[in-house]
Homo-oligomer: A and B are copies of this chain.
Amino acid sequence: MPNGSANVITSDALLAHWQGHRRLTRRLIEAYPEDKLFTYSIGGMRTFGELALELVSMGAPMIRGAANGDWTTSWDRKTVPKADILRQWDEATTQIDELWAQIPPGRFDETIKAFGQYEGRTSDLILYVIDNEVHHRGQGYVYLRSLGVEPPPFYERA
């Protein structure tokens, strides 16, 4: 019996999955040496501070746009203290929970244009934001290890 149209992930499950990832990413930001956040990188890539600000600029803003069409976000990647990033992260965590509940159930399957330029099915765009976080966090793991710091375990999401 083909399972193609079986529904495997509900809205609640996807949000819980992402918030688990976000807890891990927060631990990585917290573990990162403050003086290396915007100064250190490997192979000419962006610093982890810049990557973290990109994640902040995509997380809550994606869900705000999906919920009510407001695609406001910040493209600023200037150096800020680690405490500022963590504060923005925590605010976003609350906003994501609140805004997520406002996404109309049918919206996940609709095609939207995120930030006025990325067109796709809402659920795919949300998956992209999550994957982008996992991808850049994976880079952060390498930066951190190369700085002699033990990163938090990947499987721990509580």
Contacts and interface: CB of A to CB of B under 8 A. Distances in A.
Interface in A113-158: 123-124, 126-128, 131-132, 134-139, 141-148, 154-155
Contacts of A101: 2-4
B4 A7 contact: no
B10 A146 contact: no
Q: Interface residues of A: mostly helix, strand, loop or mixed?
A: helix
Contacts of A127: 9, 17
Total identical chains:
2
A108 to B, nearest CB: 4
A104 B1 contact: yes
Given A3-B11, A8-B126, A13-B124, 16 more contacts: A1-B104, A3-B101, A3-B103, A3-B105, A3-B108, A4-B101, A6-B105, A8-B108, A8-B123, A9-B127, A42-B42, A43-B146, A43-B148, A137-B138, A138-B142, A139-B141
**Top 6 A-B pairs ranked by shortest CB distance?**
A138-B138, A43-B145, A7-B7, A6-B105, A43-B146, A9-B9
